[in-house]
Amino acid sequence: MKTVLMTAFEPFGGETINPSWEAVRALEGKQIGGATIVIRQLPVVFSEVLNVLNQALEELKPDAVLSVGQAGGRSDITVERIGINVDDARIPDNAGHQPVDEPIVAGGPAAYFSRLPIKMIVAAVREAGIPASVSQTAGTFTCNRVMYGLLHWLAQQERPARGGFIHIPYLPEQAAQHPGAPSMAAATIIQALEIAVKVTLETDEDIKQAGGATH
């Protein structure tokens, strides 16, 4: 049985919930596309988050990895194209740290492209009636750190798995505290993530025939 690792974050920035964790934890143990979903919660702490992620990667050696994070203000499911080698925090993390213009991996590549079939995921999510798009930036907070760190780890593997990052909107109960901010229901987000897992697990030949692109 294949394993898909899905990660999500604890609440941060004054929020009491994080929609990424609320959605991902609903998928724990579920079987999708012949794979079992295993989940991990990540801390919103620059100095700790990659240690937790890498421990899970080493332990599980998953066949695919989908990391999910909150993007308050976005209105759709956004599949990230690129993770960049910089931490530049607009707000402090949950430990009070606020790095500015610091590399994630000293001497590492400037950026990594997602190893997910990002356009196929977007197309499939849209076909299900859920707003989705490709995003060109995962920002420079801990979400980007996770995306870059994940792709850096995968690049060191002899047979790298598929992996990448997906941002999701606020839940309605969060948006109620941010007048004018868009939101998406938890059930809709969960459906979109299930679709993303299924598409990710499709064969390379399927992707080629469907005209999908990794980046």
CA pair distance 49, 180, nearest whole angstrom: 31
Question: Edge-to-edge, what's the strand order for the sheet holding 2-9?
Answer: 31-32, 35-42, 2-9, 64-70, 162-168, 77-80, 132-135
**Active-site option among 22, 152, 167, 194:** 167
CA pair distance 99, 91, nearest whole angstrom: 9
CA pair distance 115, 199, nearest whole angstrom: 12
**Active-site option among 143, 152, 158, 215:** 143
**Active-site option among 22, 80, 152, 194:** 80
H helix or E strand, kind and range, residue 147: helix 142-155
Note if 152 is an active site residue. Answer: no
Note if 167 is an active site residue. Answer: yes
Q: What is the DSSP letter of 109?
A: -
Dihedral pair phi/psi, residue 35, rounded to 5°: -125, 150
Note if 215 is an active site residue. Answer: no
Count the Cβ atoms, other than its own, within 10 Å of residue 202: 17
**CA end-to-end span of the chain, whole Å?**
28
Task: Give the residue numbers marked as catalytic.
Answer: 80, 143, 167
